[in-house]
């Protein structure tokens, strides 16, 4: 039920693993991330040496473009046994099953296919489905005692975010691992910049600017039910399925701001509109938001999802009294401080490298045991709530506080009528 592997993010055509794993960069990263980066380097030299020993029996839910792609990353790592698959579409799950070598008896389809994966004897699930389905599926997996690897964003509405938050807490109580797959915070160069900002290298923070620009999605006419919207990222156009573009795409840069700051905003105001040609979905594709933080910090966000040839960006820039820092997805992370030598380095192949690091970290936490803090869940919920706050403020063309948003607890309903169970 997921989408094309690109997710609208342009992938570099080639790369080499440079020497950024040494020195201060190595000190900045956690052990699982460093191990994962080392694995990725080894893999691109034709060998895999890190993953040995016990394999995790894994179920994959969502076998479309990114689902199948990330399933191959799990398989190539050598650390997982792909045991069961599910996708709404039987032809999609069969294609994926053939490629990943999963027995036909453990390939399931329909809306309830994920339940059969949970019951198939797996110890972990990877959920790569449109975000409207994630709260229900993640909660069911945790309640069944499974470890969870989940794509972003956490949900499309406040009730869904709160359900993911509760599932993360339950996973910790059950001593299970729950990892949400964001890539920007895994990159060694981004880590170095973020740590310097947190240490005060650029002085007191003045303003943050985030950007989420992509080329938009095909938005064909709607049919009798949403089945036609569940493939090839069409669902990005539907707020009920994907949360709107600020939630499904721009969240990369907004999550980076939450990661760097370690907190979420208290209010937002803004505007948004639909500008794409012949629109059929409800997602706003042009957005401008101003977030406010408790200490007065200003955060400006600009989002656009249109095929207008504008450059694609996923970027978070933090401005301080003495300089500024940039964390980025596809280009360069940098740090400029007044009267000091600037630092800048490429963020290399992050779409794949970040996923590989997260897959490695997930394996390390599951196998090692005792690491169940599940910190990515807290940040994923805060980032998603931040995006929903911006979406709702922009739709109303008004100022909205986080407290008001949470009190409203408004559900965004998705119509599942006519779909195969």
Round to whole Å and give the CA distance between 76 and 226. 33
Contact 102, 75 (CB under 8 A): no
The confidence band for 311, taking pLDDT boundaries of 50, 70 and 90, is: confident
What is the separation of C-alpha 15 from the centre of its chain, rounded to a whole number of angstroms?
Answer: 23
Range of lowest pLDDT (4-13, 29-38, 198-207, 321-330): 4-13
Closest CA to 194 of 330, 303, 334: 334
Contact 88, 110 (CB under 8 A): yes
Q: What is the mean pLDDT of the chain?
A: 90
In the chain, CATH 3.40.50.720 sits at 23-183+363-375
Task: Give the angle subtended at the CA of 342 by the CAs of 337 and 346, to the nearest 5°.
Answer: 125
Query: Among the residues of 174-235, which ranges form H helices?
Result: 188-198
Contact 153, 124 (CB under 8 A): no
The confidence band for 46, taking pLDDT boundaries of 50, 70 and 90, is: very low
The confidence band for 411, taking pLDDT boundaries of 50, 70 and 90, is: very high
Answer whether residue 175 shows pLDDT above 70: yes
Range of lowest pLDDT (23-27, 156-160, 290-294): 23-27
Assigned superfamily of 185-353+379-408: Dihydrodipicolinate Reductase; domain 2 (3.30.360.10)
Per-residue pLDDT tens over the stretch 66-124 = 999 999 999 999 999 999 999 999 999 999 999 999 999 999 999 999 999 999 999 99
Provide mean pLDDT across the span 204-227. Answer: 97
The confidence band for 51, taking pLDDT boundaries of 50, 70 and 90, is: low
Query: Among the residues of 187-335, which ranges form H helices?
Result: 188-198, 239-242, 245-248, 251-261
Helix, strand counts (H, E) of the chain: 14, 15
Neighbours of 321 (CB within 10 A): 11
In the chain, CATH 3.30.360.10 sits at 185-353+379-408
The confidence band for 312, taking pLDDT boundaries of 50, 70 and 90, is: confident
Provide mean pLDDT across the span 336-358. Answer: 96
Q: What percent of the chain has pLDDT over 70?
A: 88
Q: What is the pLDDT of residue 40?
A: 43
23-183+363-375 classified as CATH 3.40.50.720: yes
Task: Give the neighbor-by-neighbor strand order of the sheet with 286-292.
Answer: 343-346, 332-337, 323-328, 313-320, 205-214, 298-305, 286-292, 267-273, 400-401
Tell whether the torsion through CA atoms of 44, 48, 54 and 57 is positive or negative: positive
Provide mean pLDDT across the span 150-166. Answer: 98
Residue 351: which H helix or E strand, with range? helix 350-368
Closest CA to 386 of 274, 260, 292: 292
Round to whole Å and give the CA distance between 384 and 404. 16
Per-residue pLDDT tens over the stretch 352-405 = 999 999 999 999 999 988 889 999 999 999 999 999 999 999 999 999 999 999
57: phi then psi, degrees, rounded to nearest 5: -80, 115
94 burial (CB, 10 Å; 0-12 / 13-18 / 19+) is middle
Q: What is the pLDDT of residue 52?
A: 56
Answer whether residue 5 shows pLDDT above 70: no
Answer whether residue 174 shows pLDDT above 50: yes
User: CA Rg, the chain, in Å?
Assistant: 20
Round to whole Å and give the CA distance between 232 and 215. 14
Closest CA to 117 of 51, 56, 409, 125: 125
Helix, strand, coil share (%) of the chain residues, nearest 5: 40, 20, 40
Answer whether residue 35 shows pLDDT above 90: no
Answer whether residue 18 shows pLDDT above 60: no
Angle between helices 90-100 and 65-77 (to 10 degrees): 20
Q: What percent of the chain has pLDDT over 90?
A: 85
121 burial (CB, 10 Å; 0-12 / 13-18 / 19+) is exposed
Answer whether residue 17 shows pLDDT above 50: no
The confidence band for 1, taking pLDDT boundaries of 50, 70 and 90, is: low
Task: Give the neighbor-by-neighbor strand order of the sheet with 107-109.
Answer: 107-109, 80-87, 56-61, 124-127, 147-150, 178-180
Per-residue pLDDT tens over the stretch 262-302 = 999 999 999 999 999 999 999 999 999 999 999 999 999 99
Round to whole Å and give the CA distance between 411 and 97. 35
* Sheet strands (E) in 230-296: 267-273, 286-292
Answer whether residue 184 shows pLDDT above 70: yes
Q: What is the pLDDT of residue 13?
A: 28
């Amino acid at each position: 039920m997921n989408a094309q592997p690109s997710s609208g993010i342009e992938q570099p055509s080639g790369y080499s693993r440079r020497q950024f794993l040494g020195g201060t960069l190595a000190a900045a990263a956690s052990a699982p991330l460093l191990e994962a980066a080392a694995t990725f380097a080894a893999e691109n030299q034709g060998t895999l040496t890190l993953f040995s020993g016990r394999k995790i029996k894994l179920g994959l839910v969502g076998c479309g473009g990114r689902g199948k792609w990330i399933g191959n990353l799990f398989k190539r790592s050598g650390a997982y046994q792909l045991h069961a698959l599910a996708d709404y579409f039987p032809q999609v799950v069969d294609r994926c099953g053939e490629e990943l070598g999963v027995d036909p008896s453990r390939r399931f389809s329909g809306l309830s296919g994920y339940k059969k994966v949970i019951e198939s004897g797996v110890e972990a699930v990877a959920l790569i489905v449109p975000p409207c389905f994630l709260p229900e599926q993640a909660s069911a997996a945790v309640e069944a005692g499974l470890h969870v690897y989940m794509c972003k964003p956490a949900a499309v509405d406040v009730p869904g975010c709160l359900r993911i938050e509760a599932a993360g807490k339950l996973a910790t109580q059950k001593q299970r691992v729950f990892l949400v797959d964001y890539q920007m915070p895994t990159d060694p160069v981004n880590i170095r910049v973020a740590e310097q900002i947190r240490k005060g290298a650029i002085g007191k923070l003045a303003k943050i600017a985030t950007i989420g620009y992509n080329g938009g999605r095909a938005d064909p006419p709607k049919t009798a039910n949403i089945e036609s919207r569940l493939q090839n990222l069409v669902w990005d156009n539907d707020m009920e399925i994907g949360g709107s573009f600020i939630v499904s795409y721009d969240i990369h840069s907004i999550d980076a701001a939450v990661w760097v700051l370690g907190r979420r905003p208290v209010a937002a105001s803004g505007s948004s509109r639909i500008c794409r040609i012949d629109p059929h979905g409800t997602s706003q594709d042009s957005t401008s938001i101003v977030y406010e933080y408790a200490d007065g910090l200003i955060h400006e966000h600009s989002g656009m999802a249109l095929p207008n040839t504008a450059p694609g960006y996923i970027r978070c820039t933090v401005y301080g009294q003495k300089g500024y820092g940039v964390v980025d997805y596809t280009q360069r992370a940098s740090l400029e401080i007044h009267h000091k030598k600037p630092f800048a380095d490429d963020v290399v192949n992050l779409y794949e490298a970040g996923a590989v690091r997260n897959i490695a970290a997930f394996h390390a936490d599951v196998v090692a045991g005792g690491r169940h803090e599940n910190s990515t869940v807290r940040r994923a919920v805060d980032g998603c709530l931040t995006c929903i706050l911006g979406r709702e403020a922009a739709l109303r063309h008004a100022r909205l506080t986080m407290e008001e948003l949470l009190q409203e607890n408004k559900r965004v309903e998705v119509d599942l009528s006519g779909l195969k169970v």
